[in-house]
Amino acid sequence: MNRRKFLGVSVLAVAAIPATLSALSSIDFRATKPDAWKAKTVEDAIKALYGDIKPEESGVTVKAPKVASNGGAVPVTIKSDIDAKTVAVFQNMDPESAVAVFNVPENGIVDYFLKMKLKATDANGGNGVITAIAEGKDGKFYKGTVALQVAKGGCEG
């Protein structure tokens, strides 16, 4: 059993699910790649997660409203037709960049929706960007981005 699998199994065990080894084990990227979650820029987070990659600027679509009025819950959709192993989502508005790292299961489809908490963009000149990277099973990386403005921050709380 390698380290990745072992960590996956231990997550399942914690989750009190019978730890049967199915075709795909759960991967806890917070445990396997701790630095990716502490990185304060998208570049550093990508480097900590995937290493020094040069993603193709295609193959991944990220959708978000151009102007989000409520930074507490910004709807974001990530889609890709790439046969992906993992998909990671980052943004440049909050203190740290990482938002999610998906481990794409065998019969999974890369069509993910989630709501994010984002800080108002006036702090960085209105240049809010959400970046998604897909790690293809072909060993290549693919990237998609969307620009947005966030009127009211969601992290002030």
Partner 1 sequence: MGNMKIKAKVKGDVVGVKVLAKHDMLTYDQAKAKGKEANFITHITAKVGDKIVYDVSTSQFWSKNPQFKFKFKKDGFKDGDKIAITWTDLSGKTVTEDKKIKGL
Q: Which residues bind partner 1 (CB under 8 A)?
A: 11-12, 14-18, 20, 22-30, 37, 72-74, 91, 94-96, 98-109, 111-118, 154-155, 157
Q: How far is the CB of 43 from partner 1 (least distance, A)?
A: 17
Based on CB atoms, which residue is closest to partner 1, 114 or 129? Answer: 114
Q: Using only the alpha carbons of the chain, give its radius of gyration.
A: 16
Q: How far is the CB of 72 from partner 1 (least distance, A)?
A: 6
Number of C-beta neighbours around residue 53 at 10 A: 13
Strands 128-136 and 84-91, bridge-based pairing = antiparallel
Check residue 29 and report its DSSP letter: H
Amino acid at 95: P
Q: What is the C-alpha separation between 90 and 96, in angstroms, rounded? A: 9
Q: How far is the CB of 107 from partner 1 (least distance, A)?
A: 4
Based on CB atoms, which residue is closest to partner 1, 95 or 139? Answer: 95
Based on CB atoms, which residue is closest to partner 1, 56 or 67? Answer: 67
